[in-house]
Structures are given as C-alpha cells and as structure tokens.
Amino acid sequence: MEDYAASSDDEYRYSDQEDSVEALDNDDNDYQLVSSKGPSTQVITKESLLAAQKEDLRRVMDMLSVREQHARALLIFHRWDVEKLFAVLVDRGKHFLFSEAGVTVDEHRDSNSSAAPSTIMCEICIEDVPSEETTKMDCGHCFCNGCWTEHFIVKINEGQSKRIRCMAHKCYSICDEAVVRTLLSKKHPDMAEKYERFLLESYIEDNKRVKWCPSTPHCGNAIRVEDDELCEVECSCGLQFCFSCLSEAHSPCSCLMWELWAKKCRDESETVNWITVHTKPCPKCHKPVEKNGGCNLVSCICGQAFCCGRYKEQEKTAERAKRDLYRYMHYHNRYKAHTDSFKLESKLKETIQEKIAVSEEKDSTLRDYSWVNNGLSRLFRSRRVLSYSYAFAFYMFGDELFKEEMTEAQREIKQNLFEDQQQQLEANVEKLSKILEEPFETFEDDKVMEIRMQIINLSTIIDKLCQKIVGVTAEHDRPSGSGSSDESGCSSRKRARKEGLGGAFFDLNLPAEL
C-alpha cells in the first residue's frame, strides 16, 4: 500500500534530467518508457497470407513426413496451432494424432491398380461406371466422379469445404484436397476457385492467433500475435483494436467491462431507472405518472386519480434505483467529457503539422520537432485511456463483477488510491493539451526549448501515471466466472487488464487511432 501512497507532487515535478529527454526526443515511432515486453505481432497482407500459411505447412510436413493436404488437415483440426499439434504428437503418438483429425495416409487408391476391374458399381448412385471415371480416396472408398463432385459442391455450399469427409457411411476420413480440386476444376471451375479461397482463408478463420482487421471498409489485412491473445494491436491501416474481442482498444477495461459499458451507454437501462425514481405506475392503465405538484393526489391521462404516496418497499426500490442512476451519471459524464475532448483534440494533428512546417522554415538552430508529434501521440493515447478509466472504475468498484472479490474496506482503499492516480493523470493531461496548443511557431528559440522540456517531462509523467492507474488494482484477487479461462482459472473476458503493466494490455507505445 505504501507504493501507491508514495505518489506525491514531488515525484511529478518538472525535471531537466537527460534520461527523460533521450527517452522521448528524436523518437519517431516507438516510445520506450513503458515496458517493451509488448505482444509480438505481425501484419499479414493478402500477398503474404499464402507465404505465412506455407511456412506452418512446411514445419508440419518436415516433422511428420506427410504431404501438404495431410498437413493442412491436421493444422485445420488443431486450429493452425503448430505447437499444440506437436504436443499431441509427443503425448499421444502419431496414430492418435492422425485418427483424431480424420487423416489417412495409406495410399489405397494406388494399390492393385493393375488388377482393377473395367467397370465398378458406385454405391451412391447404384450404377456401373468405367473404372477410369471413379476415384478412390486414401481411406479406400471408391465412388464415381459425378457423385464425388456433387458431394464436394454440397459441402462447399454448406460451409464445410475446409474438412470435407468421405461419403461412405461412418467414415470420418478427410478427402484429399488435390482430388477435390481436380474434380471440381473439370466442370465447376468457379467452385474450385471458391474451395481454394476457403482453404487459404482457413489460416485466419480457424487460427486463434490470427484475426482479420475489423476496419470498415475492410483493409484486407490480418494480425498475427505470438505471445498473448488478450492484447491490443495496431494494423498497418492505422486501426488499433482489441485482439480478443475485435472492438476498439479499451484499456484498462477488460473485454467484458467494455461490452457491458458500451451496452449500458447504448440502451435505455438508465432511462428505466429514472422512471422508477421519479414516477409511479397508474393502477388502471399502468402507465408511469410523474407528480408535478405538492399534493400526493395525481391524475393519469386515462382519467384515473390515485395517491402517489409510496409504500416502504417501493421507497426502498426507488431509493436504490436513484442511487444507481446517480452513480452511473457520475462516471458517464466524466467518460463523455474526455471522449469529447479526444475528438476535439484530434483536430490538433493538422494544426500541429502546419506549426512544424512554419517553424522549420524559420532561420533557427532548431530543426528537429519530433518531440511535438511524440507529445501529441501521448496526448491522444492517454486521453482515451483516461476516458475508459471511468468505465473501468464503474465496474471495478461496483457490485456487478467484483462484489465478492473485495471487502468493503479493501474496495474503499483501492477506490481512493485509484481516484487519486486518476485525478493526477487528468491534471497532467490537461496541462499537456494546453501546452500543445501554444503558438510555438511564433516563439523565440529559448521559449521553444522551454516548451520542449515541458512536453517531454509531462509525457514521462503521464506514462508513469497510466501504469499506476492499472497498478492500483493489481493486488486484488481475480474474479471467477464462466467463459474461457487462463492458467490461473480466471475468466479472460472478466478479469481486469492489470497485465497491462507488462505492455500487452496497456501499451502507450502504440499510437492512438485518429
């Protein structure tokens, strides 16, 4: 607790220390004040998608000495998780690995080809067809090409193209993709192209570490993460989003917190609360009636007159609804204020570039103005984090998610500490915003250098405060709940994003979405 309480004003006073200058000055892309242990990500474009898929296929083909279609079937079954596939191979063996995924490696269709009869009866259409017009799969089942082709078309249209099973009864083997491709190409080239596209896109659709960028309109890119699937990433198109839920980046909120908050701001739940607080239902038509005078005798528009005095239970319900409404309004008003400020400050980018252009044309010894853009990026990112911190606090210190995780005394202490850091962050963000609006292009070099130092120091302060906002709640027990869990047993959608201290959730190195 002493660590949290030690954040005095002295800790955040302006400084001329060289490390602060070196950390932010002349840094065009990445800020290193936050831990650099962020998620390892890779942007996959349309052009690099095939190469990325081929790399994973090659690893499995080399390890298991199988053909490409078998490697693809195994990877699709294991959702393109190569490490998981190799783990199953080590723990359960090659036979289990293949049978579980429905992969048959034995080449039945190539055996005894010289002794094959001239005609074969297809067990699907019950017709005798020439043997050269039939196809035998790896599992050994042989049917006519017409039936195979129709089977493939049906499965592709049903969305099962990535794992088309054999037509034989109770046979779970996966059809050879080379055979599917060949038969479809003869009479239905459009379906063959669709099949190829589905196989290629399965690397993204079925891969838990790769997801499409949710940009609108779609940029065509995908993002691959290597370390942590619960992180915030940025696409090369400029969109920053949560990799877990694909919504906008929402640190320090967890995905569930942000989902509940967005829904609460969108629906009419608080309107219902207001009606409960300020009205009483008519006993005849049940419409809500608001008293606008001093007398308790009111009249509804249906003509019914009744007394609006409340029973004790009604008073308790109304008081609880009133308390919930005021609490929501407290957090929502502050969240909205910072969201509106973010939108207004976004217009600063163009203005800042104009100021920099004017400054660079002056006869001055100062030529590098990267510190202005760095400070501006800090402002955008911290402003957005500050606005989301109110949604975070609404649920962290409320009764919906963490009621059983903290005692009242613990909650009060953590809330006070959190709000203290929040207020300090708010004050410093406002200072940074005010300084960035200064007409520095008209100032002398000495004044510009002073502004430069202020922006650099404020950016350093803001970094530390943003980390402390998450750190205040880092010691609380993680909530248990339904849904997917990590190794600690915590629901990944419900837990607070305290892991952001390591950079994966709460990374100020990422520029803000504009």
List residues with catalytic annotation.
295
Name the residue type at position 50. L
DSSP string, 178-231: HHHHHHHHHH-HHHHHHHHHHHHHHHHHT-TTEEE---SS--S-EEEESS-SSS
DSSP code, position 12: G
User: How far apart, in whole angstroms, are the C-alpha atoms of residue 492 and residue 489?
Assistant: 9
CA distances (Å), origin 63, targets 56, 75, 91, 92: 11, 13, 15, 15
Q: Which residues contact 383 (CB under 8 A, 6 or more apart)?
A: 338, 341, 342, 345, 429, 433, 512
Element (H, E) at 298: strand 297-299
User: How far apart, in whole angstroms, are the C-alpha atoms of residue 293 and residue 480?
Assistant: 49
Element (H, E) at 80: none
First to last CA, the chain: 37
Structure tokens at 169: 């009864």
List for the chain the helix, strand, coil content (%; round to 5): 55, 10, 35
DSSP string, 408-447: HHHHHHHHHHHHHHHHHHHHHHHHHHHHHTS-GGGS-HHH
User: How far apart, in whole angstroms, are the C-alpha atoms of residue 382 and residue 376?
Assistant: 10
**Residue 212 burial class via C-beta count within 10 angstroms: exposed 0-12, middle 13-18, buried 19 and up:** middle
Q: Are the beta carbons of 163 and 74 closer than 8 angstroms?
A: no
